[in-house]
Homo-oligomer: A and B are copies of this chain.
Amino acid sequence: MNNKICDMLGIEFPLVAFSHCRDVVAAVSRAGGMGVFGGVNCSPEMLEEELSWIDAHVDGKPYGLDIIVPNKVEGKGEQLDPEAVLASIPDEHKQFTNDILQRHGVDTGRIAGDIEAVRREQVAFTDNLRGGTAEAILEVAFRHPIGLIANALGIPPQVMLDMGKKHDVPVAALIGTRDHAMSQVAAGVDIIIAVGGEAGGHTGDISTMVLIPEVCNALAQIGDDTPVLAAGGIATGAQMAAAMAMGASGAWCGSVWLTTVEAETNPVVKEKMLAATSRDTVRARSRTGKPSRQLRSPWTDAWQAEGAPSPLPMPLQSLVAEPPLRVLDKLSQGDNQGARDLSTYWVGQGVGLMNEQMTAGQVVQGFKEDFLTAYERLAANLGE
C-alpha cells in the first residue's frame, strides 16, 4: 500500500500489531504488517532476550517496541520502601478479593502465599521503574534494529524523542482525545495512535468513529501532517478501511491477536473471547485504578456491584487486582471451575468480531482481503 505510514515504517500493509507475545510480533512483521512488542513489564534483561529472539525470527522485517516511560518520574532515583507500599493497601480491598474467590469455590488459604509472592514481585518492578530502569530499557531498545518506539502513557520524555531522532526511529504516542493529540504533536512525536473508547486496556471514552476524524481535522487545521494510526475496536480489514476513509493512515490493533494460535493468552480466556459478543466487555477502574476495558466475568461484575470498594489510585489497585488474577490464570488451566469462571483479561469491544482461532499471519491476510472487499463495496455504492 502506498501511504505515509508504509513509507515511514518500511512496511507493505499499514496494520500494526501490539502484542506481549514475541511470536505474534514476528509473525505480523513477516506477513507485511508491523508487530510491536509490548515490553511494559520487562526488565532490561528480559527485554534484551525478547528483542534478540524477535531479531532472529523476523526475517529482517521491521518491528517495533511499546513501553511506558513516564515523562516525569517523581522521586526518581530515590528508593521506594516496598514494605510501606504493601502496608498501604487497605485490608478492605484484599478481603474483598478473597471474598470473591471464596464465593467461587477457590481455596484462598492454599493460594495466599502465591498471591503475596506475585504482589511482592510487582512492587519490586514498580520500584525499579522509578529507580532509573527506564533509561536502561531505552538503551536496550536502541541497540536492536527497532523500526518504531511507542510510549503508552503521556508525552514521551525528551530522552526518548532524542534517541528516536538519533537512531532514525519514529516515536509514536497513544492518545484518547483531540487535545492530547495536539500536545503530542507539539512535543515532537512522529506518529499519533488515536485510541477510541471501545479499545481494550486503558482507554478514554471518545469512540473511534468520532476520534479519528476529530484528530485528523485538528491536525489538518494547523497544517500538520503527522500520520494517525486508528485504534479501538478494530478487528477486521473493513474497519481498518473505515478508519482510513476517515483520514487515518493505518490501524493499531491489540485485541485481535489475543485469540491467535501464537498468543500466550490463557486458553480459558481465549475460548471465552472467541465466544463473546461486543457486549461482553466492561470499562472499569477496578483493575488498575484507571478506566480500562476488560472481558466481563464474575470478577469484573463483583467490582461493579453496589457495595464494592472504590478502586484505589495507581499503582495500588493493580497490586490489589493483578496478583489474584494471575494466580487464577494458572488455576483455571487445571480443573478449578471457579478460577475458570472468574478469569478475565483486557480486551476491546472488537472481541465480538473475533470468532475463530487463526494464526497471526492468517489474521493479516484476512485484513488485506477484507480491506479490499470494503473498498469495492464503497466503489459499488458509487456505481464504480
**Residue from B207, B242, B377 in contact with A233 in the complex, judged by beta carbons closer than 8 Å:** B207
Chain B residues with CB under 8 A of A246: 238-239, 241-242, 374
- List 14 extra interface pairs beyond A2-B382, A207-B209, A214-B277, CB under 8 A: A3-B380, A198-B209, A206-B279, A207-B207, A209-B234, A210-B239, A210-B278, A210-B348, A210-B352, A238-B246, A241-B378, A245-B245, A246-B374, A375-B378
Across the interface, do A178 and B1 meet the contact criterion of CB distance under 8 Å? Answer: no
Across the interface, do A378 and B245 meet the contact criterion of CB distance under 8 Å? Answer: yes
Number of A residues with CB within 8 Å of any CB on chain B: 49
Chain B's closest residue to A279 (CB) is: B177
Give Cα distance in the complex from A382 to B384, angstroms. Answer: 15
Determine chain A's interface SS by DSSP, over half rule. Answer: helix
Chain B's closest residue to A198 (CB) is: B207
User: Taking each of A3, A234, A243, A352, which has the highest tally of chain B beta carbons within 10 Å of its own beta carbon?
Assistant: A352
Q: Closest CB-CB distance, A355 to chain B, in whole Å? A: 9
Tell me, yes or no, whether A244 is within 8 Å of chain B by CB: yes
Chain B residues with CB under 8 A of A198: 206-207, 209-210
Q: Which 8 A-B pairs have the closest CB atoms?
A: A242-B242, A198-B207, A245-B374, A210-B349, A2-B383, A210-B233, A207-B207, A208-B209
Tell me, yes or no, whether A213 is within 8 Å of chain B by CB: yes
Q: Closest CB-CB distance, A226 to chain B, in whole Å? A: 16
Q: Closest CB-CB distance, A206 to chain B, in whole Å? A: 5
Tell me, yes or no, whether A247 is within 8 Å of chain B by CB: yes
Chain B residues with CB under 8 A of A135: none
Q: Closest CB-CB distance, A50 to chain B, in whole Å? A: 31
Q: Closest CB-CB distance, A221 to chain B, in whole Å? A: 10
**Residue from B208, B232, B375 in contact with A245 in the complex, judged by beta carbons closer than 8 Å:** B375
Across the interface, do B278 and A247 meet the contact criterion of CB distance under 8 Å? Answer: no
Number of copies of this kind of chain in the complex? 2
Mark interface residues in A1-40 (1 if CB within 8 Å of B CB, else 0).
Answer: 1110000000000000000000000000000000000000
**Residues of A59-118 contacting chain B, CB below 8 A:** none
Chain B residues with CB under 8 A of A206: 198, 278-279, 349, 352
Across the interface, do B179 and A277 meet the contact criterion of CB distance under 8 Å? Answer: yes
Across the interface, do B247 and A233 meet the contact criterion of CB distance under 8 Å? Answer: no
Give Cα distance in the complex from A146 to B75, angstroms. Answer: 68
Q: Closest CB-CB distance, A101 to chain B, in whole Å? A: 28
Mark interface residues in A348-384 (1 if CB within 8 Å of B CB, else 0).
Answer: 1110110000000000000000001011011111110
User: Taking each of A198, A242, A353, A378, which has the highest tally of chain B beta carbons within 10 Å of its own beta carbon?
Assistant: A242
Interface pairs (9), CB distance under 8 Å: A2-B382, A3-B380, A178-B277, A197-B207, A198-B207, A198-B209, A214-B277, A217-B353, A242-B245
